Amino acid sequence: MRSSHLGRASLAAATCAAVALLAAACGSGSGGSGGSGSASPSSTALEESHIVVGALPVVDDAPLYLARKLGYFKQAGLTVTIDPVTQSTQALPDMLHGTVDIIGGANYVSYFEAQAKGEAQLTVLSEGVDCTANTFGIAALPSSGITKPADLAGKTVGVNLTDNIQTLTANAVLKADGVNTSKVTYVVVPFPDMASALKSHKVDAISAVEPFLAGALAGDGAKTVVSSCGGPVANFPMSGYFATQSWAQKNPNTAKAFQTAMFKAQAYADSHPSAVASILPTYTKVSAAAAAKLPSGTYPSTLDAGSLGRVTSLMRSGGLLTSSLDVSSMLFH
């Protein structure tokens, strides 16, 4: 599936191609740059033209689907297969084993933590989304009696993953509101199951992103009691596109091609919210009518170490990062 084929127009052409390939192979073997997974290839030919990206059915990944729809990947010489996952960490073992090349919508906290613990050597190819007001929050049913942040003390809150971006930002906001977060219990509920878990009272509240937050608010009458993107975490970086450093070093031109296409798609999504709304129903269960009303975050089209440093700073203050981590060394350039 991923093999390349030499043309057979003439023996001379084949010989020249072989020489060119040999030169490129020699160059790529010594082109790795270490920490960031970047490389200085001697050829612009793609090492892999077909890649697999694991992605969540959330608004974070709208640019990924737009890049495929608008032909940005094709323009870069790439064929991209998108493999849906319900939790970004589910795809991490697949990426480490090489069956998935890149993970999109990956929450920074879990992946930075994996890097810091030495569980994986990762590189960030593109940022995903920064949250904005009303795009991320904690919701509860009116019958629960939970109407304000303080009411969450002693309650259970469903999150897609524990000790991740959801719990970290929620705790930051709750602490700012004077809530003792040690009295809040977080339990794992996959995003697609949150509305039903709330309705059946398996949890008292849910911490959800779009489109799942809007689904709970509209379909089940839930009310937002905490905005998880305000105060100390306003415009907070939520997710990004990760690859292993070894994959990026082995495939620097492919990684660059993907990054270039994603930067273009991120910028397009950020300036065309209607395009985000239009693409959402193609990979989520949200209807076109509901998608048109959804708020969306901002889609950065560059890699900003300073912005991502906010994540590691909050991880340290929240007790999720005890060792040093240089985010700038993880960025692919």
The answer to whether residues 205 and 287 belong to one domain is no
Same domain, 320 and 246: yes
How are beta strands 50-55 and 205-209 bridged, if at all? unpaired
Statement to judge: residues 252 and 120 lie in one domain = yes
pLDDT above 60: residue 191: yes
Per-residue pLDDT tens digits for 284-301: 988 899 899 888 889 999
Residues 43 and 95 in one domain: yes
> What is the count of structural domains for the chain?
2
Question: Does 196 lie in the same domain as 56?
Answer: no
The answer to whether residues 141 and 228 belong to one domain is yes
Asked which of 233, 264, 292 is the last residue of a domain, the reply is: 233
Residue 91 has pLDDT above 90, yes or no: no
> Mean pLDDT throughout 57-76?
96
The parent domain of residue 59 ranges over: 29-131+236-330
Flag whether 24 is in a domain: no
Is 193 contained in some domain?
Answer: yes
The pLDDT of residue 230: 87
End of a domain among 233, 262, 297? Answer: 233
Does one domain contain both 182 and 229?
A: yes
278 vs 219 pLDDT, higher one: 278
The CA distances from residue 202 to 156, 162, 189, in Å, are 9, 16, 10
| CATH, residue 68 | 3.40.190.10
Residues 192-199, mean pLDDT to the nearest whole number: 90
Could you tell me the pTM of the whole model? 0.80
Domain final position from 167, 202, 233:
233
Residue 102 lies in a domain: yes
Query: Quick check: 249 and 36 in contact, CB under 8 A?
Result: no
Does the pLDDT at position 138 exceed 90?
yes
124 and 146 assigned to the same domain: no
- At 279 the pLDDT is 97
Q: What is the pLDDT of residue 323?
A: 83
In this structure, is residue 1 part of a structural domain? no
Proportion of the chain above pLDDT 90, given as a percent? 64
| Residue 16: per-residue pLDDT | 38
Rounded to an integer, the average pLDDT of 167-195 is 93
Q: Could you tell me if 224 and 253 lie in one domain?
A: no
Q: Which residue in 329, 333, 332, 317 sits closest to 109, CA to CA? A: 317
93 and 150 part of one domain: no
For 231, counting Cβ atoms within 10 Å of its Cβ (0-12 exposed, 13-18 middle, 19+ buried), the class is middle
Domain assignment present for 292: yes
Let me know whether 127 and 48 are in one domain. yes
Tokens for 315, please give them.
């991880």
Torsion angle of C-alpha atoms 166, 171, 174, 180, degrees rounded to 10: 140
Can you tell me which residue has the tokens 């084949």? 14
Specify the pLDDT at position 39: 53
